[in-house]
Amino acid sequence: MKESNSLQGKVALVSGGGRGIGRAIARTLSFLGAHVIICGRNQSELENTAAAISSQSSPCEGIRCDLTAWSEVENLAKTIRQKLGSIDILVNNAGVGGFGGPLHALDPAEWERILNTNLRGVYYTIRAFAPMMIEKRSGEIINISSLAGKNALPNGAAYAASKWGLNGMSYSIAEELRQYNIRVTVVCPGSVHTDLSPHEGKDPRRMLQPDDVAHVVEMLVTQQQRSFVSEVLIRPTQKP
């Protein structure tokens, strides 16, 4: 890791930060000195994670927010602006899986659940927080996608669609925001050992771990300001 104060004075927001990949990212950013806010739907989970991180490094606080509801995201942005002024780093990590069968048999409500969280929720956070970064003429937006946004995923078409859409959105907003010195990166991990994706037949010891994704985020937010990485694909060294 870089020095523990390399993000001193920075404010970071990590969605889905109560567990899994989001928790690992929040812990890493806090270690680097950032004031970290984690958001999600489970308040007790957020509080437990925030307390654990704060006890070991920089301040971390959990704020409940349903990212599929614009009014809640808007209120989150207002709260952060009032308390902290702005944010410097936005990590869109919150996501839900969906691997239950072919698209032609998918319940429309399940389609809405997946797309609303994985794609609409990211639009909402960017709509709420990018203007703050534009005001400062600096910022980092990191969207956690998936290799399912690069490859075919039978029996997971809705999930794949959400990630292909997230990738396309990320490439586009990177071009829109780079004039304001805002860097946008999409990170596409393969299967990570969390409770999101199916693990049948896979050796968890060979799978990617949440800290592997957090390490990539660390590299992105500590790179020189004159450059940015637009996309990172992460695969395990050995196939699980």
User: For residues 146 and 189, is the Cβ–Cβ distance under 8 A?
Assistant: yes
Query: Which pLDDT value is given to residue 175?
Result: 97
d(CA 36, CA 23): 11
At residue 194 the predicted structure's pLDDT band, cuts being 50, 70 and 90, is: confident
Assigned domain for 239 exists: no
Assigned domain for 240 exists: no
Assigned domain for 3 exists: no
**CATH no. for residue 143?**
3.40.50.720
Contacts of 200 (CB under 8 A, 6+ apart): none
Number of domains in the chain: 1
Only one residue has tokens 């957020």, namely 46
Assigned domain for 197 exists: yes
Assigned domain for 6 exists: no
Assigned domain for 155 exists: yes
Q: Which of 231, 186, 229, 235 is nearest to 209 (CA)?
A: 235
> What residues pair up with 139 in beta bridges, in sequence order?
182
User: For residues 157 and 201, is the Cβ–Cβ distance under 8 A?
Assistant: no
Query: Which pLDDT value is given to residue 196?
Result: 66
pLDDT at 16 over 80: yes
pLDDT tens digit sequence for 108-126? 999 999 999 999 999 999 9
User: For residues 149 and 164, is the Cβ–Cβ distance under 8 A?
Assistant: yes
Backbone φ and ψ of 111, nearest 5° = -55, -50
pLDDT tens digit sequence for 161-173? 999 999 999 999 9
Q: Which of 96, 95, 99 is nearest to 155 (CA)?
A: 99
Calculate mean pLDDT across residues 48-62. 95
Does the pTM of the predicted model rise above 0.85? yes
Query: Which pLDDT value is given to residue 27?
Result: 97
Mean pLDDT of the chain: 94
d(CA 216, CA 232): 8
Query: Which pLDDT value is given to residue 221?
Result: 96
Helices (H), the chain: 20-31, 43-54, 70-84, 108-115, 121-136, 157-177, 210-221
Query: Which pLDDT value is given to residue 43?
Result: 95
d(CA 135, CA 11): 15
Q: Which of 118, 138, 123 is nearest to 11 (CA)?
A: 138
d(CA 10, CA 228): 18
Question: Structural domain of residue 134, as residue ranges?
Answer: 11-234
Enumerate the active-site residues. Answer: 159
- Compute and round to an integer the Cα radius of gyration of the chain: 17
Query: Which pLDDT value is given to residue 205?
Result: 81
Assigned domain for 195 exists: yes
Percent of the chain with pLDDT over 90: 87
pLDDT at 136 over 80: yes
Assigned domain for 84 exists: yes
Query: Which pLDDT value is given to residue 4?
Result: 63
d(CA 121, CA 109): 16
pLDDT at 239 over 90: no
Query: Which pLDDT value is given to residue 209?
Result: 94
Query: Which pLDDT value is given to residue 5?
Result: 67
> What residues pair up with 192 in beta bridges, in sequence order?
208
Calculate mean pLDDT across residues 135-142. 97
pLDDT tens digit sequence for 198-234? 666 677 788 899 999 999 999 999 999 999 999 999 9
